[in-house]
């Protein structure tokens, strides 16, 4: 399993200013404790996931997502998904710890 992020979020993720993402899925795709990857970013450990009503998001909910207000977050969700209630999908808040890029294995030295 992997998560895709827009390039505009890369710096906020790397700097620890974005520690969650809101996703609209037909079902829950990740579980707490799992380590997943994101191309061009690295690995993440999922710490928490919960289903929520996007209409009830507060400014406090938006900040870990890298936004200053719930209105800004909802506007981005509309931009990305076309709606805050895409048909046939449920809203999930996925909290994570960014682990960075995996260490590259060092080549074995001949003995």
Write down the pLDDT at residue 2.
80
Q: Is the pLDDT confidence value at 1 over 90? A: no
Q: Taking 60 as the threshold, does the pLDDT of residue 109 lie above it? A: no
- The model carries a pTM of 0.86
Contacts of 24 (CB under 8 A, 6+ apart): 77, 81, 86, 89, 90, 91, 92
The average pLDDT across 87-102 equals 94
Query: What per-residue confidence (pLDDT) applies to 17?
Result: 95
Q: Are the beta carbons of 31 and 46 closer than 8 angstroms?
A: yes
Confidence of residue 80 (pLDDT cuts 50, 70, 90): very high
């Amino acid at each position: 399993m992997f998560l895709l992020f827009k390039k505009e979020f890369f710096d906020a993720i790397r700097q620890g200013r974005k520690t969650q993402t809101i996703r609209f899925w037909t079902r829950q795709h990740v579980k707490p404790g799992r380590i997943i990857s994101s191309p061009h970013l690295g690995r993440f450990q999922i710490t928490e996931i919960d289903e929520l009503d996007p209409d009830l998001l507060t400014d406090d909910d938006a900040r870990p997502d890298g936004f200053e207000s719930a209105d800004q977050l909802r506007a981005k969700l509309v931009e990305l998904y076309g709606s805050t209630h895409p048909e046939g999908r449920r809203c999930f808040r996925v909290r994570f710890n960014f682990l960075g890029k995996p260490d590259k294995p060092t080549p074995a030295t001949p003995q």
